[in-house]
Amino acid sequence: MTELATQSPTSPAAVFFKPEAMAHLVRLVLTDRSAAATLIALWSNVGEGGTVRVTQAAIAHECDITLRRLSKDLAYLVDGAWIELVEVSFEPGGPLVCVVNKSILQMMKPEELA
């Protein structure tokens, strides 16, 4: 496993993604750079069970894209089975809840790392 982040800000577990996910991420960067940036921003906010709870505005700001572009990126990531949308606010910039595909991401608690 390759470590993405020592600890997610929303979870006490370490975040890892599977090595084959890197090859897919490289292809995603080559086909749609904005969607890749959005995916990485979502990964950086992952919490318990691979769930991401964040606002659309925060992700759009982090990726320096418009909310309209974020909607397109999210649709692309759902179509590619990178994420599953759980809840998306109709309010522009509102809450976003999604789950990262568990075949890509693995969460481990600190005691499991030792």
Class of domain 2-109: mainly alpha
One DSSP character per residue, 19-56 reads HHHHHHHHHHHHH-HHHHHHHHHHHTTB-GGGEEEEEH
pTM exceeds 0.85: no
- pLDDT recorded at residue 3: 44
CB-side neighbour CA atoms (13 Å) of 90: 0
Neighbours of 108 (CB within 10 A): 13
Estimate the crossing angle of helix 33-43 against helix 56-63, to 10 degrees: 120
Phi, psi angles (nearest 5°) of residue 13: -95, 150
Per-residue pLDDT of 59-100, as tens digits, reads: 999 999 999 999 999 999 999 999 999 899 999 999 999 999
Per-residue pLDDT of 35-44, as tens digits, reads: 999 999 998 8
Phi, psi angles (nearest 5°) of residue 35: -65, -35
Domain ranges within the chain, ordered by starting residue: 2-109
